Amino acid sequence: MTFGLIGSHYWKHICTLKRELVDRGHKAFIILPTYFPQYYLATVSKATITLDHIELLDLDGFYVGLLETRERFFRGRFGKSIWLALRHRYLEFAKCEIENLSLQLSLLLMLGDMLPCVNSPYSLLLTRLRVASLRKLEANGIPVADLLITNDPAEDARVSKCVRVEEDNVLDVPCFPRCLESCLRLIQSGAAEIWKVMGIRHQKIRKMIVADGNLERQEPIPSQVSELVERILKTLDLQLAQVDFIKVDSEVRVGDVHPMPDWTSFEEATGEPISAQVAELLVQSGGAR
């Protein structure tokens, strides 16, 4: 079988995933959408989706690990004279980027409609809907950390044990929406822990990383947490995610869900064969097709 891996050649987890697939006798190639349209030729018609003349609909599945624009171009460090000159190029650049983003996202959603994808391209939207995802989990009876996002200074008085996102760098927006997460201060003082748990649908992962503000260590995953992760994946329609839990006293709550995790450090720290399991997941879904 042949798989497409949407991500960067410079990301270790993408490269190890490719290696795992190749080791199993399959083919895999990495597609970095950020480099579209300068370095890739893409065409879409009613019946075909090609990239550099390769028909993507002939592939057996995709790992979807990235969607981004080249906005970093304008986020570099420039001398002031160069920066001032860039003003005249900005609008044209922004207009091109929105066209490119539209093609990238359309292309991924089409692939998601037609082929097995880990995760579904719709999960890309979860990264811009973090609060909504947590609310969805909470509505499904999954315990999530207290969360208050506001730009109303009056809300400060109602929040205890909170940390405010630093505003020093916030520019020209006087009331930036601040994320007041009630557990963060506790974590910094060592009174709480973050449990980083990798979840893969129908795959058993035994260890997690525990961070207490100073050090990280690996520990076995309690069975109720494993069950919770399976429920989270199902609720958010994900096959793979890193779930960060926050544990205060004996209470464990979801703090964040990452639908496109870089599992390299997790794999190195715990020895859990995440790349191999993701490769298995892709092969199984491709085979089922």
Partner 1 sequence: MKNERIGLIGRHDDPEIQLLKAKIEDLGAQAIVVDFWQYPRFSQSVIALDRILYDEVDLTNLDAFYLRQLGYFSPLPQKEFSRQEWETYYEKFNEFIANEREVMSYRESLIQILEMLKPVINPYFCAFYHKLKLYQYWKLSNAGLPVHDFLAGNDYLSLKRFIHKGNMVAKPMTGGYVRMLDESTLEGERSSLRQRPIIAQHRIAGRMLRCFVLADRVLGTCELVHKPDETDARLGIVAMERFELADEFGDIALRASQTLGMIFAGVDLILDEVKGTVFVLECNPAPLFRSFEAQTGLPISQELALYLVNEAG
Q: In the sheet where 216-220 sits, what is the strand order?
A: 216-220, 207-211, 192-200, 240-248, 251-258
Interface residue with partner 1, options 2, 19, 24, 109 (CB under 8 A)? 109
Select the span of 26-34, 174-182, 213-221, 276-284 touching partner 1 (CB under 8 A).
174-182
Interface with partner 1 includes 215 (CB under 8 A)?
A: no
Residue 112 corresponds to which amino acid?
G
Interface with partner 1 includes 235 (CB under 8 A)?
A: no
Interface residue with partner 1, options 9, 170, 190, 220 (CB under 8 A)? 170
How many residues touch partner 1 under the rule CB under 8 A: the total is 67
Distance CA 62, CA 115 (A): 8
The number of beta carbons lying within 10 Å of the beta carbon of residue 8 is: 19
Compute CA 183 distance to the chain's CA centroid, rounded to the nearest angstrom. Answer: 22
**Eight-state DSSP code of residue 256:** E
Residues 242-281 that bind partner 1 (CB under 8 A): none
Interface with partner 1 includes 96 (CB under 8 A)?
A: yes
Select the span of 57-65, 92-100, 258-266, 277-285 touching partner 1 (CB under 8 A).
92-100
Interface with partner 1 includes 113 (CB under 8 A)?
A: yes
Distance CA 180, CA 159 (A): 8
* Token code pair at residue 35: 């480099």
Interface with partner 1 includes 105 (CB under 8 A)?
A: yes
Interface with partner 1 includes 84 (CB under 8 A)?
A: yes
Burial 224-247 (b: 16+ CB within 10 A, else e): ebbebbeebbebbebbbbbbbbbb
In angstroms, give the least distance from the CB of 129 to partner 1. Answer: 5
Interface with partner 1 includes 226 (CB under 8 A)?
A: no
Distance CA 170, CA 172 (A): 7
In angstroms, give the least distance from the CB of 225 to partner 1. Answer: 21
Interface residue with partner 1, options 23, 27, 35, 43 (CB under 8 A)? 43
Mapping DSSP to helix (H, G, I), strand (E, B) and coil, where does residue 52 land? Answer: coil
In angstroms, give the least distance from the CB of 234 to partner 1. Answer: 16
Residues 139-158 that bind partner 1 (CB under 8 A): 139, 144, 146-152, 155
- From the list 242, 209, 206, 245, the residue with the least C-alpha distance to 226 is 206
Distance CA 140, CA 260 (A): 22
| C-beta of 152 vs 268, nearer to partner 1 | 152
Question: Which residues make up the interface to partner 1 (CB under 8 A)?
Answer: 36-38, 40-46, 50, 69, 71, 74-75, 77, 80, 83-84, 87, 90-91, 93-103, 105-107, 109-110, 113, 125, 128-132, 135-136, 138-139, 144, 146-152, 155, 169-177
